[in-house]
Amino acid sequence: MNPTSAFQRKALPFFVSALIGALGAAGCSGDKPAGGPPPQGPMPVSVIEMQPQKVPTSIEIMAQTEGARETEVRARVGGILVKRLYQEGETVKAGQPLFQIDRAPYEIALAEAKAKAEQTAREAARLKPLAEAKAIAQRDCDDAVSANAMAQAALRQAELNLSWTTVTAPVAGTTGRAVRSDGNLITTADSLLTSIYQTNPIWVRFSLGESDLANFPGGRMTQKDVKGVELVLPNGQTYEKRGKLNFLATNIDTTLGTQAMRAEFDNADGQLLPGQFVRIRVLTGERDGVFLVPQSAVLQTEQGTLVMTAGPENKVAPRPVKAGEWYGKDWVILGGLNAGDKVIVDNLIKLRPGAPVDPKPQPGQAGMSGMAGMEGGTSMTGMSGMAGLNNNRAKP
């Protein structure tokens, strides 16, 4: 018997049973109407009703803090550094001892200079009456007087050298790291030991680029263009104390094309440290009649910037807008919206133009999120880069 024929005879009942079961299932399913999932209702969304706002116009740029006075502490005499007399990083007073250089060589030099000065003084005193009596030449007396003057000057220098072995703080302020350790040989050619920073007030150095300066008359900023200066900390919070400009360059850097500036901030609590990278917000005025929209609700497309709104019939209506700068967590919208428009702020990825929605006011909003940022000091953020501590974002 052919094995293939035997296998077909054994398997035939199974195929018949499967076919009957499939036909039965198809007959049962024919009793129910075909169709997809049940229709869904309007998409629930949160909206913000737009109201005109008044926001400050500003330019926000990268900056770096520096001490109001940064003083190098240098040794004025050479020798072995015996001991460091201060704790690195502590606040010191002017005149406070910081380092001790070996005194022994200078004590010996002082003793020699003192003995020499006493000898020349005695010699000058001895020759003076003789010269008056014409017993010796006047020249000998004059030479003795000159030798005594030089010896007295050498004595004074020796005293100074000995006093300089104790290196003191030239100004009050916060000390930096000690550059040299105990036991190092200090020379006058390599005499830097540490630095002292005066951090109250603290200065913040920054520059404005050509694109920012182009918005001001003559392509440069003047003191009258600045209404205030704010500082944004690295954590994004706005420093509680406003500052003021204390330097504004009268020329443009020919290499970077920037105008250098410096602001001054009170730092009595020592919150700001020299060398920190922060952001400076230069306030240049106010802009009225604009709208604030959360950054997440503003869409950037190939056709431009737009927001999704809920129309009069609660259907999705894309709205092209003109966006300005960031203010806090919002975009400043300069055009394209009207008072009373309802901007959708969530479920944006699920929306399609003309789709029905069920708009609900966003909890805790009344179109005032940006005002809260203005009153609470919310920082203004933006895309930034550094070019001589300069970048171009918000426009005045």
CA separation for the pair 89, 176 (Å, rounded): 5
To the question of pTM greater than 0.75 for the whole model, the response is no
Q: Please report the pLDDT score of residue 36 as a whole number.
A: 53
Using only C-alpha atoms, the chain has a radius of gyration, in whole angstroms, of 41
The pLDDT-based confidence of 364 (bands split at 50, 70, 90) is low
CATH of residue 152's domain is 1.10.287.470
Question: Is 183 inside any structural domain?
Answer: yes
Say if residue 209's pLDDT is above 90.
no
Question: Same domain, yes or no, for 349 and 319?
Answer: yes
Per the structure, how many domains does the chain have?
3
pLDDT tens by residue, 83-106: 999 999 898 999 999 999 999 999
The whole-number pLDDT of residue 58 equals 81
Across the chain, mean pLDDT equals 81
The least confident of 50-59, 123-132, 384-393 is 384-393
Residue 11 has pLDDT above 60, yes or no: no
Give me the mean pLDDT over the 316-330 stretch.
Answer: 86
| CATH number of the domain bearing residue 182 | 2.40.50.100
393 pLDDT more than 70: no
By CB neighbour count within 10 A (0-12 exposed, 13-18 middle, 19+ buried), where does 9 fall? exposed
- Overall average pLDDT of the 68-85 stretch: 93
> Which residue range forms the structural domain that includes residue 108?
104-162
Q: Specify if 32 maps to a domain.
A: no
pLDDT of residue 146: 95
214 and 177 in one domain?
A: no
Clarify whether residues 180 and 313 are in a common domain.
no
**Mean pLDDT on 102-130:** 95
Residue with the bigger pLDDT between 214 and 206: it is: 206
